[in-house]
């Protein structure tokens, strides 16, 4: 991996699980930084601000700045500013994403008939009123944008439902697929990551615990990919997957011991 200049790390299930650092993740990242490698942390979660991620990583002895963090909220706001600058939005999501969208200057709908776009993100307080509002808006022609397709999020005690639950509920009642998906593995996230790193995709490696998002995104972008087995995916899942990683690692600690890395053929 010595030729790799940019290392893109997923967070949950890759660097940490909940509030527990994955063993040696700090050593790996700090060693790469000392070698002059470019580091980007790429999460599909929208329930925390980038500043909170910086604080969390620093608590694990990983010194980063907000510029090292990319989440779907940032990519979503840039997408909206470019493609729908005057849209009125209805946001299914937690307060942090609502605040950031409002701070970016977007108007929030009070009624379904006002709504140009329904935004779906992970919402741990999702309920029937949210679903009905979104359903009525889509019936009246509102477009739909999801922040991420993750079915679950890994945590210390296992995993919990993620944004796919909100997506599935709306798709189930409308009979329509979501119009746009922003987070991994979408092209919007690929472009945002490459723009931040200022590198070519072939100079980068994507490291994560999900075949259908992390590994798929890296492969479609032309990056090297490394799957870690500390999150959602287990080794038996790999052979059956359409998205084959270049490397399978027990954890991120394998990045510093290249000879021990398993490369799939």
**Going residue by residue through the chain (265 aa), what tens digit of pLDDT does each one get?**
778 999 999 999 999 998 999 999 999 999 999 999 999 999 999 999 999 999 999 999 999 999 999 999 999 999 999 999 999 999 999 999 999 999 999 999 999 999 999 999 999 999 999 999 999 999 999 999 999 999 999 888 889 999 999 999 999 999 999 999 999 999 999 999 999 999 999 999 999 999 999 999 999 999 999 999 999 999 999 999 999 999 999 999 999 875 444 554 3
CA torsion, ordered 207, 66, 193, 79, to nearest 10 deg: 130
pTM of the model: 0.89
DSSP result, the chain: -TT--EEEE--BTTTEETTEEPTTHHHHHHHHHHTT-EEEEE----SS-HHHHHHHHHHTT----GGGEE-HHHHHHHHHHHH-TT-EEEEES-HHHHHHHHHTT-EE-SSGGG-SEEEE---TT--HHHHHHHHHHHHTT-EEEES---SEEEETTEEEE-THHHHHHHHHHH----SEE-STTSHHHHHHHHHHHTS-GGGEEEEES-IIIIIHHHHHHT-EEEEESSSS--HHHHTT-SS--SEEESSGGGGG-GGG-EE--
Q: Residue 3 to residues 6, 36, 160, 247, 264: CA-CA distances in angstroms?
A: 9, 12, 37, 15, 19
> What pLDDT does residue 262 have?
52
Domains along the sequence of the chain with CATH: 6-44+184-263 (3.40.50.1000), 74-181 (3.40.50.1000)
């Amino acid at each position: 991996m010595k030729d790799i200049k940019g290392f893109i790390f997923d967070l949950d299930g890759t660097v940490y699980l909940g509030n527990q650092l994955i063993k040696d993740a700090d050593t790996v990242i700090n060693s790469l930084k000392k070698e002059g490698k470019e580091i980007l942390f790429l999460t599909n979660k929208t329930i925390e601000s980038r500043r909170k991620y910086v604080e969390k990583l620093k608590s694990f002895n990983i010194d980063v700045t907000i510029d090292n963090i990319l989440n779907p909220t940032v990519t979503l706001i840039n997408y909206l500013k470019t493609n729908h600058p005057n849209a009125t939005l209805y946001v299914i999501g937690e307060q942090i994403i609502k605040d950031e969208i409002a701070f970016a200057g977007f108007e929030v709908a009070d009624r379904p008939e006002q709504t140009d776009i329904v935004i779906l993100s992970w919402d741990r307080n999702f309920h029937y009123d949210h679903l009905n509002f979104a359903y009525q808006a889509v019936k009246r022609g509102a477009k739909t944008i999801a922040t991420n397709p993750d079915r679950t999020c890994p945590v210390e005690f296992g995993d919990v439902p993620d944004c796919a639950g909100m997506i599935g509920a709306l798709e189930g009642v409308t009979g329509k697929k979501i119009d746009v998906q922003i987070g991994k593995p979408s092209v919007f996230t690929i472009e945002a990551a490459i723009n931040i790193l200022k590198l070519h995709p072939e100079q980068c490696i994507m490291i994560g615990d999900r075949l259908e998002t992390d590994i798929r995104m890296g492969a479609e972008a032309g990056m090297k990919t490394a799957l870690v087995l500390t999150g959602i995916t287990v080794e038996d899942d790999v052979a059956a997957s359409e998205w084959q990683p270049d490397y399978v690692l027990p954890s991120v600690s394998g990045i510093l011991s290249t000879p021990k890395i398993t490369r799939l053929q």
